[in-house]
Every structure is written in C-alpha cells, then in structure tokens.
Amino acid sequence: MKQLYIKQKVFSLSGKFTVKDQTEQDIYYVEGSFMQVPKTFAIMNTNRQEVALITKKVFSFLPKFFVEVNGHEALTIRKEFSFFKPRYTIDAADIEVQGNWWDMDFQVKQHGNVIGSVSKEWFTWGDSYKVQIENEEMEAIIIALVVAIDCVKADEAAAASAAT
C-alpha cells in the first residue's frame, strides 16, 4: 500500500503541480495546457517521461475527457444530460469508481477489488487529495483519474460561474 498526495495551487495559471509521496518527495509532475486547444494535462514521472495524458474533446455538446496511460486509451469521462444534478460517467475496461466522486471521496475498483481510494483533504489552501494505492501497477491510472475528475469539476465550476 502506498499513499500519495496531490495539491494544486489555487492561483496557478499554468496548471502545474506535483504529486508527492508520504515523505513529501515529488513522484509525478502534472502540467496543464494554458489557453491551448484542446485542453490537456500531461502527467510525467520523475525523469519527465509522460506516463499519462488527459485531453478534453473540443467539439462536443457535453464535456468529454479522454485519458491515455502509457500511450493507450484507458478511460473516458463524459457528462450525461440531466435536468437537476450534474451526472458524469466513467467508461473504462474493468475499472469502476464507487462513492461520491463529485466530492472526491471514492474507491477505484477493478474486477470488484479495491485498487485505490481517494479522499479530499479539508481546510487546505487549494485542492488537496490523499490517494491510497492498493495495486501499484495501477498507480498511473489512478493518478490520471483523480486529475481528470478534478479537471471536469473545474470546468463545471467555470461554466457555472460564467452563467451567473
């Protein structure tokens, strides 16, 4: 079992942040595209090699994000049409998210077995998440999933504030 921490800076225009381990060592670097179409987030290891890429689909009626891990499409997050509460689905081979993923408190399962869990750290400056990895082979996918969901939430919040 491994614990990682994702902390995003509130006022970072470039969308750069790191994923740290329990000893506060940088394990992954995340760099988002700023003012670029399509919007992307690259997740790189300590050697600055890309391990995952998150891309927002440009021309889509409802928001849709593609997540690639090691060059292969791993999952898709898409918004479903609903009148009341925002609903999103995560499409992935044998991977499911259970719990309140909108509030960042959920488990990631593969074939019914928990491979990771995510919980939001409260009372911090910026968004901070504790990520517990049960299956280290799935580490990059879990980190990419957390970053992608956070990106979906940020886009939703921006759209809501623009509408008011």
Question: If we measure between CA atoms, which residue out of 77, 104, 94 comes closest to residue 135?
Answer: 94
The residues near 52 (Cβ < 8 Å, ≥ 6 apart) are: 42, 43, 67, 68, 69, 70, 74, 140, 141, 143, 144, 147
* Spatial contact of 4 and 20, defined as CB atoms under 8 Å apart: yes
The predicted structure's pLDDT at residue 11: 45
Q: Give the bridge partners for 29, in sequence order.
A: 18, 44
CA gap 65, 61 in Å, rounded:
12
DSSP 161: H
The parent domain of residue 149 ranges over 2-163
pTM: 0.81
Q: How many independent structural domains does the chain possess?
A: 1
CATH number of residue 134's parent domain = 2.40.160
The predicted structure's pLDDT at residue 9: 57
Q: Which residues in the chain come in under a pLDDT of 50? A: 10-11, 13
The predicted structure's pLDDT at residue 68: 92
